[in-house]
A = this chain, B = another copy of it.
């Protein structure tokens, strides 16, 4: 398989409301609309500049993976990187054939389409999200 574009890097934060002003006021990025991703137990928002996109994720469920991740780190920190793939199901089949372990059993709903996470222990220590973009989100 070949991963495509780096769609975003993601930062786990205790509070979107407290995190957003640094990205908008200090770095001059634009914040989109926050959305709840119930499958992942988070509220998430994209902040963007010319070609750069960061996802800020705030846990809304204390049992979610992101809540545990934040509790372990004790502060906001980088959480994952997300690459686009053309066909998520095909990518997951190929990776499973190579012994790569998924963090979730099935793809879930992400901010920009269907996503699946590779477990860091199968992916060089990094939580990697693969994204098959929803057609409605356009071509950028």
Chain B CB within 10 Å, residue with most, of A8, A27, A81: A27
Task: Give the interface residue-count category, chain A.
Answer: 35 or more
* Alpha-carbon separation in the docked complex, A6 to B77 (Å): 17
CB-CB under 8 A from A1, the residues of chain B are 27-28
Most chain B beta carbons < 10 A, residue from A23, A51, A120, A124: A124
Q: A3-B49, A6-B54, A9-B81 are in contact. List 17 more A-B contacts (CB 8 A).
A: A2-B27, A2-B29, A3-B29, A4-B49, A4-B50, A4-B51, A5-B50, A5-B52, A6-B6, A6-B9, A9-B9, A11-B126, A13-B124, A26-B95, A26-B98, A76-B124, A78-B81
Q: What is A's interface to B at a CB cutoff of 8 Å?
A: 1-6, 8-9, 11, 13, 19, 22-23, 26-29, 49-54, 75-81, 83, 95, 98, 100, 120, 123-126
